[in-house]
Amino acid sequence: MNEVKNRYDFILLFDVANGNPNGDPDAGNSPRVDPETGYGLVSDVCLKRKIRNYITLARREDDGKPKAGYDIYVKEKAILNQQHQRAYDSPELKNATDDEDRVAQARHWMCQNFFDVRMFGAVMSTGVNCGQVRGPVQFTFARSVDPIVSLEQSITRMAVTTEKESKKQEGGNRTMGRKDIIPYALYESHGFVSPFLAQDTGFSEDDLQLLWQSLNGMFDIDRSAARGEMSARRLIIFKHDSQLGNAPAHALFSRLKITRRDPARPARSYDDYQITLDKDNLPPGISIIEP
């Protein structure tokens, strides 16, 4: 296995036009927002879901089944304890000497077979015990560059669900609804890769390259009328020459500056922003990659 031997910190810029990038179920599924500042939010869980969906398509056999080592643990309609049982049913666990050894081998099997376990980690100690894994790849919530304006749009469906509704409307068969959208917003998310945790889970350099690929392509396979147009705009990777790192992550992230070209008018496209990355006088041992 080609081990990850370097620390990485990265920035992902993505935007949305006329859509809802991440609805909040506790707020009628309207776009997530920081109530104190008005800045938009997209959860780390939302971004991880899109990465998982990308891996599902990018690493599958012709029959649609996942390639060896690239199954997804947290997927739609999955029953997690059944995923755990697969580890216990594997030949590798037949020679386990005791419960502790069995859990350790089950944990190793889960890391080997599930891409998202060895990347993001998982708590797998419920019911069928496969232990816990702390993942080497972590994300922050994404935050919009400017405060967002959420527009509530009324929509009409020219059909009803039941015959009773049809009779009530005397055949009008029209249903009203609503849709919350953001006209435009640019978001910034930060991420981190730990080589120490990568060695523990078996997350390899090949896996890392697949992560970069998924970050650039995940929105293109996740189209939805509710999400409008979402695009990955820029991925900036800070590679450290060492495992511990050569500079604080916040100091590297602060090298990216984003300003509106015309502060007097609201942004409605990516081109409305001036984005600069200071590549001069980088700390020793730091290099910048933009795949």
Looking at the chain, the whole-number percentage of residues with pLDDT higher than 70 is 98
* Predicted structure pTM score: 0.92
Q: What is the DSSP letter of 68?
A: T
Q: What is the pLDDT of residue 9?
A: 98
Strand positions, DSSP E, 62-202: 121-123, 132-134, 137-139, 142-147, 151-157, 175-193
Q: Which residue has the tokens 């790849």?
A: 137
Sheet strands (E) in the chain: 8-19, 23-24, 30-31, 39-42, 121-123, 132-134, 137-139, 142-147, 151-157, 175-193, 229-240, 256-260, 273-277, 286-289
pLDDT computed for residue 170 by the predictor: 65
pLDDT tens digits, one per residue of 21-40: 999 999 889 999 999 999 99
